[in-house]
Amino acid sequence: MTSALFATGLVCLLAQVVILRELTVASFGTELVYLFAFALWLGGGAAGAWLSRLPIFSRPGAIPGLFTAAAVLTPLEAVLIRGGRDILGITPGTFPSLGEQFLTAAAGVLPVAVAAGLLFPLAAAGFRRDGPGGGPLGRAYAVEGLGGLIGALAATLSPAAGLSNLSLSFLTALTAAAAALWTGPRGSGGGLSRLAALSVALAALAVLFFTGPLDRATTRWNHPHLAAVRDTPYGRVTVALPESQVVFFFDDALLYESEGTEAEAFIHPAALQHPSPRRVLLLGGGVQGMVTELLHHGPEAVDHVEIDPFLFETAAPYLPAPLRASLADPRVRTLYADPRRHLASGPQYDLIVVAMPEPLSGWSNGFYTEEFFRLCRRALNPGGVLALRLEGAENLWTGVVAMKMASVHRALGDVFPAVVFLPGGTNVVTASDAPLPTTAEEPTGRWRQRGIPGRLVTPPYLAYLYENDRFRRTRDLLAAFGDTPPNRDARPVSYRFTAMLWLSRFVPAASAPGFARDLEKWIYRVGPAAGLLAMAALAAASFGPRRSFPAVLAAVAGFNGMLAEGVLIMHYQIKTGILFQDVGLLLMSFMGGLALGAWSLSLRPPSGRAIRALVVAQPFFFLLLGLAVLRGLPAGLPSVALALGAAGWFVGALFAAAAHLRAGDVRAAASALYGADLLGGSLAALLGGVLLIPFWGLYLPLAGAALGALCPAAALLGRRGTPGA
């Protein structure tokens, strides 16, 4: 059953990636829906693990049948998620309701997740049946983790290799069908299951040759004027050509449309705040026409930094002629790099324009923090100007909007002595170490001097920006919300407020004045009490019946491991930007550590002293890990990969220890422990991403995890004699 376990890890990881990528696009890249879906995946896996004890799954053909089911469900669910809008009657381009998004996530995730959860206990039951309960189960967990590691590698490399997500879904189906053929019963008894698996494998192989047309056909369901679509390592790029327009989407969110004035409305008010921007740095925004607008200000050099080279490669043939000409201008240098890395090592600039995505995720929030602004200030010449944009409301700032703006304003104010907000539907925010214009007189004079051919930004428009009552009202609101915490790397409060604004689309009360403050107070008041209740429940479970203790230990390990994984990857992404291949390597570090930890503790039956030492070491490890993040854990790939590998090692080793303590039938033990492990991970994914990290930052959640890990440690130390059940 070694091959079945390895295939379980491989197929489940690939299927997870396929489904979650499709849901990310269906939700316009919103991280909250992704986190909910990821939690559903782990929760569905836990349900599948517990269902594996039903007699129906004792039949010899259960494992190949489940592999065949996974082979059918993975591409089917991917296609159904794409067609979810038509099925639910949602207008293309509009936000589905909160219930519709969660319904789509549940329908797309749970069937495959339950099948994935069923596979591990059944495969583990046939793995080294001749050994004691703990050894085979611990090694089974290691083999499954190794399969997951290879799956993570394949999922990481597939977009860079030009494979679409739909192609990956059919490759996953082919892999799962091959696993069904390999693990199926031999002889006449397995003829029907082998025939089914072979039929699915041949169908998947045949469709692989037509995934290009199929990919475009299913994408056209939401983009009827489709010209091109491509899955890149960072998301899905879609190009549409309605009538005479050119429209770009990224993860189905509008990125650029050729008839718009967004680039002009951002670049000109920002660049006019500097008397003579000779050297300019543009972070993102290349396909949005911002280079074209910057060249109107007569710079000597423009460094244009993009993260995703595949976005440019896909969009380039469809860019309007003026955009192509501006990008080919000899003054323009396009670089593919992480913005933070470039800022730390690049030249000095007169103007830095941040055209990165809104802080809708933990990653994009890193371009709006105090630490990021300090990097920008060091890269600016004396008197240089930093410019960014924040979506708001034209005439009304609710409490949540005001707190979002104030969190960025506080972070900027801690770095720059001068900060100016130019309000509008999109707020243009500038900062400098020199005084900035607060009336339209200077910008208007520069506009005329530079001869800017503005369609929107003209002297009357500039006067409107500076002299409208909203300009003064904005200053008053920022001062009124001046006690809002500054947005920082380790405490991403702007991400939290942006997530609340997303929620207000579906729950209008979330945008009411005072809602954000009341919610924050409620979280900080109820949070400690809820934590104490959770600790009490965990302590009761830990000191409860001996037979339930291994499941508690596995659940705590799964929760802490998933929380540590989320914190460390966010720490890395915030500090260094996001190079997808690096994130893939980090995930593989965690999976590799998990496999190594489970294998190392199951080579021989561990002694009671060794298990006690491991369980007692867990809270100290997570506490030290949190302190390392708080004190500035080096954000280089080696250090973060090592920390993730160590966290994975603890999860794998603790699972193997729990397996040793849970004597008895391997299948029953695998069902209970694997289900508890996945359930703990599910809670960590949901609570960590939605509440703990946005409200408490990166350090306190790990400190709380360490406190929770004290409960099983104290219970184990309090037991006399051997810790085994």
Q: Number of helices (H) and strands (E) in the chain: give both, helices first.
A: 28, 11
What is the distance, to the nearest Å, from the Cα of residue 155 to the centroid of all Cα atoms in its chain? Answer: 15
What is the distance, to the nearest Å, from the Cα of residue 337 to the centroid of all Cα atoms in its chain? Answer: 19
Q: State how far the Cα of 422 lies from the Cα of 406, in Å rounded to an integer.
A: 14
Give the side-chain half-sphere CA count within 13 A for 523.
Answer: 15
- Using only C-alpha atoms, what is the Rg of the chain? 27
Task: Look at the block and give the residue holding tokens 């710079």.
Answer: 299
Residue 133's pLDDT is what? 41
The angle, 0 to 180 degrees and rounded to 10, between the axes of the packed helices 98-125 and 2-26 is 170
Query: What residue ranges define each of the domains in the chain, with the CATH number in brackets?
Result: 1-219 (1.20.1250), 262-491 (3.40.50.150), 513-725 (1.20.1250)
3-state helix, strand, coil in the chain (%, to 5): 65, 10, 25
Prediction pTM value: 0.85
* Bridge partners of residue 418, in order along the sequence: 432
CA dihedral (610, 615, 618, 620) in degrees, to 10, reads -90
Average pLDDT by consecutive 10-residue portion of the chain (725 residues)? Answer: 87 91 83 80 93 85 91 94 84 75 87 94 72 65 91 85 91 94 68 84 92 93 92 88 87 82 92 95 90 94 91 86 90 91 89 89 84 95 96 77 90 96 90 94 93 89 88 88 87 79 72 65 70 80 82 92 88 66 75 91 81 91 89 80 93 91 79 92 84 78 87 79 48
Please say whether the dihedral angle defined by the alpha carbons of residues 214, 79, 227 and 360, taken in this order, is positive or negative: negative
Encode 69-101 in three state secondary structure.
Answer: HHHHHHHHHHHHHHCHHHHHCCCCCCCCCHHHH
Task: Look at the block and give the residue holding tokens 């049946």.
Answer: 129
Label residues 532-566 b or e (16+ Cβ within 10 Å = b): eebeeebbebbbeeeeebbbbbbbbbbbbbbbbbb
CB contact at 8 A, 671 and 53: yes
